Structures are given as structure tokens and as C-alpha cells.
Amino acid sequence: MNKTEKIQYVIDELERLYPETPVPLDHTDAYTLLIAVLLSAQCTDKRVNQITPLLFVKANTPQDMVQLEVEEIRQIIKPCGLSPRKSKAIWELSRILLDEHNGNVPDSFEALERLPGVGHKTASVVMAQAFDVPAFPVDTHIHRLMYRWNLSNGKNVEQTEKDAKRLFPEQLWNKLHLQIIFYGREYSPARSAKKDIDFITAKIGRKSEIAKLN
């Protein structure tokens, strides 16, 4: 297969497997999504979804969040890890939203990335899932699979994002990045991927990665 055929194969197979792509992080609006994505750094979506209801019952708006003490936020989110940094970021970004954005989550990459605790990946998730703006957030699954499928060199996540945006049609980005994540979790884990299960890698992957499949 040439590169164009490989891309179409990936698109077709992921669409067959995952015609629906529910957002993995439970949320009710842009603000609760932003907080959930921030909490997901070095934490599983499953754990975040267990913790956010405990936090959001106390505060699910910037107005309510700044009424809490940072330490109270930290105690609630502790199971998600990095709680000192995350709790401070949650409180501070909530204050900034009130002071500078009328309590609303801004719908631009630049404004989001200026918020404490919000990097490019978090901003991309919010832009894609809250505002339906084309973005391609690269997490560990996407970074791993783009390399395994010989679609990126694995140098860094910035390069992986550039390659994904260059190779895949823009109108598919928001759905496709979730489809790749779902495939990575179910069929192509970081360790012990199996040839008879990880069929996309087995068919189009780089030779060194195919050789690793059990």
C-alpha cells in the first residue's frame, strides 16, 4: 500500500470499529470539560470520571470554584495525582475566567493556552470537543500509533500532531483522534500488543513494530 492507501485504510477501519465517538471525560459544559481534561494529565479517564462528580457537586462553575480553598480542591482531586499543582491551576484559571472572560471558557487556542495548567493538548481537546473547532490533540495512544503505523517519526508530540494534520482530512480530525485513542486502548496497548489483535499495525505498520507483535 502507498501512503494514500494506508491513510484511507486507517480511516475506513476506525470508522467501521467506532462509528460513534462519545467523549471519554464526563462533563456538562465547556468549563467542566476544561477541568476534567486538566485533571486527566497523568491520570486515567476512568479515575477522572470517578473524581469529577465529587468536585462538581461542590463547584461546577468558576464562580463556585473560587469560593473553595485551594486545599479543599486538592483533597478532592488527590486520587488524580499532581494534586498540589492541579488544584492551584483550577482555582487560578477559574479566577481568570471571571476576571477576564466574564466567567466563560474562551474559544481560542491562544486564550486557553494562557490559562494556568492548560497546555496545547488540553486546549486542543476543549476546542475540538466543546467548540467543534478542528483540532488533533495528541495523547500517548496517538503518539504511539502514529509511530507504529509509520505515519510519523515519533520524535515528539508536536511532530506527531503536524503529521496527523497533514495526512488526515481536517473534517475528520475531531472524530478521528478519538477513534485512534479507542483503538490504542482496545487493540494496540503500549505493552504486549498481539499480531492477531492489533490488525492495523500488522497490516501497515513499520517493520520494526510488526516484529514486536506477539
- The Cα–Cα gap between 131 and 203 comes to 35
Cβ-based burial of 96 (10 A; exposed 0-12, middle 13-18, buried ≥19): middle
pLDDT in tens, 117-162: 999 999 999 999 999 999 999 999 999 999 999 999 989 999 999 9
* Domain 30-129 top-level CATH class: mainly alpha
- The matching CATH number, chosen from 3.40.980.10, 3.40.50.300, 1.20.140.10, 1.10.1670.10, for 3-21+136-210 is 1.10.1670.10
Q: How confident is the model at residue 42 (pLDDT cuts 50, 70, 90)?
A: very high
Write out the catalytic residue numbers. Answer: 121, 139
Query: What global pTM score does this model have?
Result: 0.93
Closest residue by Cα to residue 126 from 22, 37, 44, 21: 37
What is the sign, positive or negative, of the torsion defined by CA atoms of 108, 113, 119, 120?
positive
Residue 179 host element (H or E): helix 173-186
Q: Is the pLDDT of residue 64 over 90?
A: yes
Domain boundaries, the chain: 3-21+136-210, 30-129
Phi, psi (5° rounding) for residue 155?
A: -60, -50
Report the pLDDT value the prediction gives residue 214, as an integer from 0 to 100: 84
Please, how many CA atoms are within 13 Å of residue 172, restricted to the half-sphere of its CB?
A: 18
Give the C-alpha distances (Å, rounded to integers) separating 210 from 4, 144, 172, 188: 20, 13, 27, 11
187 CA to centre of own chain: 18
